[in-house]
A and B are shown apart, each in its own frame.
Chain A
Amino acid sequence: MAAEKSIITVVGKDQVGIIARVTSFLYENNVNIEDISQTIVQGYFNMMMVVDTSKATKEFLTLSEELESLGKKIGVLIKLQREDIFKSMQRI
C-alpha cells in the first residue's frame, strides 16, 4: 500500500510526557512516525510529526478525532492533517 503521509502538530504549554503519550497512541494504532521536530514559538511548545497512516488500524477521521480528544486530556492542541495541504501551499 502506498504511503499516506500526514502531519501531526502539537501546540501548547510544555510538560512532561507529551511526546510519550502521542507516540504510544500512534504505536497502538499502527501509525509509523517518519520524522519528529520541535520548536518553541512565543513561549509555546510546537511539535510536528510526519507520519504514515496507510497501515493504521483505524480510519483517518477516527484517528483525527481520537488525537484531538487525547490533546484535550493532556491540555494541548493536537491536529492530524494530510500532508498535501502543506506541500501545495509551501512548494512551487
Chain B
Amino acid sequence: MININEVIETNEMIEKENLDVRTVTLGISLLDCISDNMDLLCSKVFDKIVNTADKLLDVCTQIEREYAIPIVNKRVSITPAAIVGASACKTVDDYVRLAKTLDKAAEKVGVNFIGGFSALPAKGMTKSEILLIDSIPQALAATNRVCASVNLGSTKTGINMDAVKQMGKIIKETARLTKDQDSIGCAKLVVLCNAPDDNPFMAGAFHGVTESDCVINVGVSGPGVINHAIQSTAGKDFGFLCDTIKNTAFKVTRLGQLVAKEASSRLGIPYGIVDLSLAPTPSVGDSIAEILESMGLEKAGAPGTTAALALLNDQVKKGGIMASSYVGGLSGAFIPVSEDHEMANSVVCGALTLEKLEAMTCVCSVGLDMIAVPGTTSESTLSGIIADEMAIGMINQKTTAVRIIPVEGKTAGQSVDFGGLLGSGPIMKVNSFSCEAFVNRGGRIPAPVHSFKN
C-alpha cells in the first residue's frame, strides 16, 4: 500500500516544485476534409476539429481535479495544412482564410494554440507548400492561436536550401507584420529538421500522416522537480547525480502516462505517446538554466554547460523510457531563452551567447528556441543561422529547430516581453559577418553519409 511519505513527496512536487502536465495535445487528421472547393474545405475542417475536440477541455478539467494535478495547456494539432489545402487553396489569401478557420475552431473548443499550419518541404516544395509558406506572415498576423511550422530538412533527404532561404524572408516579414507586439508572430513560427509526426509541443506540433485519425499525446514537464532533486546531490559524484535525475524523471513520466491514458479512455481517443521533454516556463523554479546551475555551474553558458545539458538530457530519457513504453515527440530538454527566466538572466550577464546555445543544441532538443535578435538582422543571416541548426540535426540524426524573433525596431541589449508562457528576455547579439553568397547558391545540401562517423 502507498505510504504517507510517498503521498507527501508527490504532493510537494505538485505544490512546491511546479510539477504539472505541460500539455495534452489532441492530434486530428484532416485528410478526410480535403476538397477542391474552398468553402467546403473550411466548413469541413471547422466541423471536424470542433466535433473531435469538443470534450477535450472538460475531460482535462475533470482529470486535473480528480488527481489534483495541473494540466497547463490543452491543444490541438492537425494534418499539415499544406496537404489539406493543396487542392482548394489557389492563392495566398486562400491559405490565410484556412488559417482563420483554424483559429476560429481553436477558439470554439477553447484551446490556446492549434498547431499544424505547416509544410514539410524537406527535399522539394510543391506549389501548395510554396503558397502556404508565403501566406505565413499574414496568417500569423491575422490569427491568435494558430502555430506554423516548416520542416526544412532531414537526415534522409538533406537540407532544402531554397526553402531555408525563403524562410529567412518569411521570418522577417512575419516580424514586420506583428511589429506592434514585439514581432510576436515569429514566436508562433518554427522551422525544423527531422520534425517528428507526434510532437505535442507548440509551435512545432502537427499531426503527421503516419498517425491514426485522432490521437492523444501528452507532454510532461518538471524542471522544478528535477532541480529540487539535484539540489540534494551537492558534492556527490556523477553516478549519484545521474541516478537521482533518472529516478525523478521516471516519476514525472509516469504521471504523464497516467494522464495520457485517462484522457484517452475518457475521450475514447487512442493514446499515442508521452513526450519526455523538460519544458521550462518563465516562472522562478521552473527553469532548465537553474538545473544546470544546481549541477555546479555559476551561470548557464559557463564552460561545462554542454556536458551538463548532455548528461541531463540523457538521464531524463533513461528514466522516462523505463516509465513509459510509448515515448515520442521531441523528448529532450528545451533551452528557450525568453521562456526560461534564468536562461534570459544568463544572456543578460554575458554568460550565454548565441554560439554557446548553438553548441548546446547538439546535445538536446530542440534547438535555438525563442531567441530575440535585433530587427536589423538580415534575411540571409537568419537563413544562415537556420542552415547551421538544420545541419546539426541532419548530421546527428536528431530533431533541431529554430524559433527566432528579429524584433522590429529593437537592437541588441534591449528587452522584449511577449507575455504569458512566451516570457520575456534580452535581444541577443548576432554575428554580423555576411553569409549571403552562401545562402543564395540555391538548391539542396545532399543527405549525409551514414558511416565514417567522425
| A interface with B by C-beta (< 8 Å) | 7, 9, 35, 37-39, 41, 46, 48, 50, 60-61, 64, 79, 81-90
Give 1 or 0 for each of B1-24: 1 = CB within 8 Å of chain A CB: 111111111110000000000000
- A9-B11, A35-B1, A50-B1 known; A86-B65 Cβ under 8 A: no
- A85-B255, A85-B258, A89-B254 known; A61-B66 Cβ under 8 A: yes
CB distance from A76 to the nearest CB of B (A): 14
B51 within 8 Å of A by Cβ? no
**Would A85 and B67 count as touching, CB distance under 8 A?**
yes
With a cutoff of 8 Å between Cβ atoms, the chain B residues found around residue A37 in the complex are 3-4
- A81-B66, A87-B2 known; A7-B7 Cβ under 8 A: yes
With a cutoff of 8 Å between Cβ atoms, the chain A residues found around residue B4 in the complex are 37-39, 46, 48
With a cutoff of 8 Å between Cβ atoms, the chain B residues found around residue A9 in the complex are 7-8, 11
Looking at the complex, which one of B5, B8, B10, B65 makes contact with A85 (CB distance below 8 Å)? Answer: B10
- A9-B11, A90-B2 known; A64-B66 Cβ under 8 A: yes
Q: Can you list 28 A-B contacts (CB < 8 A)?
A: A9-B7, A9-B11, A35-B1, A39-B5, A46-B4, A48-B7, A50-B1, A50-B2, A61-B62, A61-B66, A64-B66, A81-B67, A82-B67, A83-B2, A84-B262, A85-B10, A85-B255, A85-B258, A86-B7, A86-B10, A87-B2, A88-B257, A88-B258, A89-B10, A89-B255, A89-B258, A90-B6, A90-B251
The CA of A32 and the CA of B65, in the complex, are separated in Å by 21
How many interface residues does B have (CB within 8 Å)?
23
CB distance from A10 to the nearest CB of B (A): 11
**Would B69 and A85 count as touching, CB distance under 8 A?**
yes
The CA of A41 and the CA of B12, in the complex, are separated in Å by 12
Which of A37, A61, A88 has most B Cβ within 10 Å? A88
CB distance from A84 to the nearest CB of B (A): 6
CB distance from B10 to the nearest CB of A (A): 5
Supplied contacts A7-B7, A9-B11, A60-B66, 19 more A-B pairs, CB within 8 Å: A7-B2, A9-B8, A37-B3, A37-B4, A46-B4, A50-B1, A50-B2, A64-B65, A79-B68, A81-B66, A81-B68, A84-B258, A85-B10, A85-B258, A86-B6, A86-B7, A88-B258, A89-B254, A90-B9
The CA of A37 and the CA of B4, in the complex, are separated in Å by 7
Residue of B nearest to A89 (CB): B251
Residue of B nearest to A90 (CB): B6
The CA of A74 and the CA of B94, in the complex, are separated in Å by 60
The main secondary structure of chain A at its interface with chain B is strand
The main secondary structure of chain B at its interface with chain A is helix
Looking at the complex, which one of B8, B67, B251 makes contact with A84 (CB distance below 8 Å)? Answer: B67
The CA of A48 and the CA of B6, in the complex, are separated in Å by 10
The CA of A90 and the CA of B67, in the complex, are separated in Å by 15
Residue of B nearest to A46 (CB): B8
CB distance from B66 to the nearest CB of A (A): 5
Which of B6, B7, B9, B255 has most A Cβ within 10 Å? B7
The CA of A8 and the CA of B428, in the complex, are separated in Å by 49
Residue of A nearest to B65 (CB): A61
With a cutoff of 8 Å between Cβ atoms, the chain B residues found around residue A81 in the complex are 66-68
The CA of A39 and the CA of B9, in the complex, are separated in Å by 13
The CA of A41 and the CA of B4, in the complex, are separated in Å by 11
- A35-B1, A84-B258, A89-B251 known; A79-B11 Cβ under 8 A: yes
The CA of A30 and the CA of B325, in the complex, are separated in Å by 38
CB distance from B324 to the nearest CB of A (A): 10
With a cutoff of 8 Å between Cβ atoms, the chain B residues found around residue A61 in the complex are 62, 65-66
CB distance from B5 to the nearest CB of A (A): 8
With a cutoff of 8 Å between Cβ atoms, the chain A residues found around residue B258 in the complex are 84-85, 88-89
Give 1 or 0 for each of B57-99: 1 = CB within 8 Å of chain A CB: 0000010011111000000000000000000000000000000
The CA of A29 and the CA of B254, in the complex, are separated in Å by 32
**Would B1 and A41 count as touching, CB distance under 8 A?**
no
With a cutoff of 8 Å between Cβ atoms, the chain B residues found around residue A88 in the complex are 254-255, 257-258
Closest 4 CB pairs of A and B: A90-B6, A88-B254, A89-B251, A48-B4
